[in-house]
């Protein structure tokens, strides 16, 4: 019994020491996931205007545009499922807000494509590209926290 009582404080110290290590590991994993997502969002933002313009002028490319929109919507869902360390919760919440806006816009574009009313100026008059830029700005803040 005495040995157990002597060992208890040591076990508590060891257990407490694991928590910061685990949090650091989760933070590194999150920064890596955020980096990948930010790169995907940047590529999506860069490619989307040209694909939208091409889909308007060439009906054969409409399926490519729909596929691009659907693929990015999946990427959003996957990123929203990532385990978020406590230190990144606020920034992840900001990204999630932008993701909701993007998903709403993607749904509108997909509906317009299906209805045959999609036009290239939809992108110019929407929040989609602004939200994608906001994600890049938030990602820069994540990088700063990840490097501290």
Note down pLDDT in tens along the chain; length 148 residues. Answer: 334 333 333 433 344 444 677 777 888 899 899 989 999 999 998 888 888 888 888 888 888 999 999 999 999 999 999 999 988 899 899 999 999 999 999 998 889 888 888 876 777 767 888 888 888 888 888 777 656 5
pTM over 0.85: no
**How many residues would you count in the chain?**
148
Nearest-5° Cα angle at 106, 100 to 107 = 90
Separation between Cα atoms, residue 121 and residue 19, nearest integer Å: 50
Residue 145: partners with Cβ closer than 8 Å, 6 or more residues away: 27, 31, 87, 88, 91
Q: DSSP alpha helices (H): ranges in 58-127? A: 62-80, 89-115, 121-124
């Amino acid at each position: 019994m005495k040995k157990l009582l002597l060992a208890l404080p040591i076990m508590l110290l060891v257990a407490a020491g694991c928590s910061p290590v685990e949090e650091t590991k989760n933070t590194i994993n999150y920064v890596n996931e955020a980096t990948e997502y930010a790169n995907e969002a940047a590529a999506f933002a860069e490619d989307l205007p040209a694909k939208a313009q091409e889909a308007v002028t060439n009906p054969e490319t409409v399926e490519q545009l729909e596929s691009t929109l659907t693929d990015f919507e999946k990427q959003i869902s996957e990123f929203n499922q990532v385990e978020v360390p406590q230190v990144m919760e606020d920034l992840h919440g900001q990204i999630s807000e932008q993701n909701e806006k993007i998903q709403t816009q993607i749904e509108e574009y997909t509906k317009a494509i299906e209805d045959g009313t999609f036009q290239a100026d939809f992108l110019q008059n929407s929040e989609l590209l602004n939200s994608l830029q906001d994600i890049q700005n938030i990602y820069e803040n994540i990088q700063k926290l990840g490097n501290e």
